[in-house]
Amino acid sequence: MMPLRYRGLRHPVTQLRDEMDRLLTGFFGPPAEGSWTPTSRSQPAVNLWEQGDALVAELEVPGVTSEQLDISVIGGELSLEIHRPDPPGDGVTYHRRERPTGSFARVLRLPADVDANRVQAELKDGIVTITLPKAEEAKPCRIKVASAS
């Protein structure tokens, strides 16, 4: 049964893959972390909303410095790349290893045209906030109605 939850704008193939992962994991034994939770996902999670004349995207990227983040806007797409270095593994014993490492990439199709030159990104406490001001053409424009008299 499909759990009831908001799926957002995720690609159907991604949804299918996650669903298959979930089914297989459940079939071949319990997942490593006890119970399956509906918030598991295999790509950096994004929240996106509209704020005034801009779109704002937010991601949780704990442990990542600004040099390990690649953010670019190409055409109507926001491309995100995160590189997390592998932790030192020599001479130590890992009792638990849950924090993800490696590279993650994601491309989001933006719902409005943005002014790529004015895009700003801020990293604070492991949260990156990307402000994407809308292009002039995409801003709402009030049309004056002239009365023909």
Partner 1 sequence: MPNSTEITKKAADHPEGAERMRSGQFFRPNCDIVERDDELLLLADVPGARSDQIDVKFENGTLSIHARVERRQAPETEYLLCEYAVGDYWRTFQVSEAVDASKISAEYANGVLTLHLPKAESLKPRKIAVTST
Residue 4 CB, shortest distance to partner 1, in Å, is 15
Helix (H) or strand (E) holding 88: none
Residue 135 CB, shortest distance to partner 1, in Å, is 17
Taking the least distance from each CB to partner 1, the nearer of 50 and 136 is: 50
Taking the least distance from each CB to partner 1, the nearer of 63 and 75 is: 63
Taking the least distance from each CB to partner 1, the nearer of 38 and 74 is: 38
- Binding residues for partner 1 (CB under 8 A): 6, 8-10, 21-22, 25, 31-33, 37, 39-50, 55, 58, 60-65, 87, 91-104, 108, 111, 123, 125-127
Residue 78 CB, shortest distance to partner 1, in Å, is 11
- 10: which 2 tokens? 């995720």
**Rounded CA separation 106/83 (Å):** 12
As a residue count, the chain comes to: 149
Contact status, residue 132 vs residue 57, Cβ threshold 8 Å: yes
What are the angstrom distances between the C-alpha of 110 and each of 12, 73, 75, 114?
Answer: 17, 9, 9, 8
Taking the least distance from each CB to partner 1, the nearer of 103 and 120 is: 103
Residue 70 CB, shortest distance to partner 1, in Å, is 16
- Three-class SS of residue 82? strand
